[in-house]
Amino acid sequence: MISPDLIGRTHSRSILVERGPLSAFARSIGETNSLYFDVEAARQRGHPDLVVPPSYLFSLLLFAEADHPWVVDLGVDLSKILHGEQRFEHDGLIFAGETLTLKSAITEIYEKRGGALEFVERATDVFAGEQRRGRLITTLVVRHG
């Protein structure tokens, strides 16, 4: 079982939002709004650079945490982990060229089915400087047995 002592455990990482991966992501999801892949179009609309599509925050989190430190902290067999849910809150636009700080904390651990399934919820606040631009809430499911 996952220790409830992990609730409140934090990790913090910074990552630069790069144009290339951002543009490739936008095209890969079939985005047709040029704000996401055409710098000149974004600037003509008053933005400093490419605009980050809403769901790209999850990709940035994966890039920033390639070693998955919080998952390792859980102390469970990685083959038993499922991605259960992903939610997003958006507080403002994010642009290519910005360095974001991702501050994550495990917020909840609970079980279902008599302990056969454990759920771990983590909230990640996304900051550009001191300004919060969004939040990701990730739920992992750990299968036991």
Query: Does residue 65 lie in a domain region?
Result: yes
Report the pLDDT value the prediction gives residue 65, as an integer from 0 to 100.
66
Query: Does residue 120 lie in a domain region?
Result: yes
pLDDT, tens digit, 9 for 90 and up, residues 119-131? 999 999 999 999 9
Query: Does residue 29 lie in a domain region?
Result: no
Query: Does residue 107 lie in a domain region?
Result: yes
Query: Does residue 37 lie in a domain region?
Result: no
pLDDT at 134 over 80: yes
Specify the DSSP element, H or E, that contains 82: strand 81-90
Residue 17 has a CB neighbour count (10 Å cut-off) of 21
Domain total for the chain? Answer: 1
Query: Does residue 22 lie in a domain region?
Result: no
Query: Does residue 12 lie in a domain region?
Result: yes
Q: Rounded to two decimals, what is the model's pTM? A: 0.87
d(CA 71, CA 81): 9
Query: Does residue 34 lie in a domain region?
Result: no
* Higher per-residue pLDDT: 121 or 66: 121
Report the pLDDT value the prediction gives residue 67, as an integer from 0 to 100.
58
Domain that holds residue 118: 4-17+53-143
Q: What are phi and psi of 129, to 5 degrees?
A: 65, -130
pLDDT, tens digit, 9 for 90 and up, residues 81-99? 999 999 999 999 999 999 9
Confidence band of 66 (pLDDT split at 50, 70, 90): low
Domain containing residue 72: CATH number:
3.10.129.10
